[in-house]
Amino acid sequence: MISAGEFKNGLTLEIDGQVCQIMEFQHVKPGKGAAFVRTKLRDIINGGVLERTFRPTEKFNQAMIEREDMQFLYKDGNMYSFMNNKTYEQIALTEEQVGDSMKFVKENETCKVCFYNGSVFSVEPPQKVTLKITHSEPGVKGDTQTGATKPATLETGAVIQVPLFVNEGDEVIVSTETGKYESRA
């Protein structure tokens, strides 16, 4: 049992018969009245987002989530194919199951596929990936002091903002959590 005072981002709980993952939480201590925990939860079964408040002493059961390392093989239309690294079993997931998490992942990368009661509810990409820039406009000369950025298209098709000194053909490290440029590889 986990109390609301022990909440962390990413924690998966069973709340009122629903399996929810904590996206954000905040402990609030108003000047008058009792403290409470404000949360933003994502229902892992249907993907809906809800906001709820709890007393810090309320307790909930933690949902047992299985995470398997799987290799992303390829994308075919709106289906993504993954292979279990231990059993070599393959599964195909839809864009709805995968969500927005695969826009920075190229083929043959290892991801964590999350299961609840045998059904997939999300895919967790690696925290940082190294990708090649396929298209980028040249930087404007003399505009380097302002810390300016420019759009760059990655080999996966995603577009991010990069500093002006980064050129087409360079490899960059991108955070998949924030979708932002980290550094050159």
Within the chain, all domains assigned CATH 2.30.30.30 are found at 2-62
Comparing 143 with 96, the larger pLDDT belongs to 96
CATH number of the 128-184 domain: 2.40.50.140
Question: How high is the pLDDT of residue 83?
Answer: 92
In the chain, % of residues over pLDDT 70: 96
4 pLDDT above the threshold of 70 = yes
Edge-to-edge strand list for the sheet holding 2-3? 2-3, 59-62, 12-15, 18-28, 36-43, 49-54
| Cα 58 from chain centroid (whole Å) | 28
169 pLDDT above the threshold of 80 = yes
Q: For residue 177, what are the contacts with CB-CB under 8 A and spacing of at least 6?
A: 127
Q: What is the mean pLDDT of residues 149-171?
A: 87
State how far the Cα of 122 lies from the Cα of 99, in Å rounded to an integer: 7
Q: Spell out the CATH class of 2-62.
A: mainly beta
For residue range 91-132, list pLDDT tens digits in order: 988 887 787 778 888 888 898 888 888 778 778 888 888 888
140 pLDDT above the threshold of 70 = no
185 pLDDT above the threshold of 80 = no
Pick the CATH number of 66-124 from 1.10.260.40, 2.40.50.140, 3.30.565.10, 1.10.240.10: 2.40.50.140
Question: How high is the pLDDT of residue 125?
Answer: 86
Question: How high is the pLDDT of residue 146?
Answer: 65
Within the chain, all domains assigned CATH 2.40.50.140 are found at 66-124, 128-184
14 pLDDT above the threshold of 70 = yes
How many other CB atoms sit within 10 Å of the CB of residue 100? 10
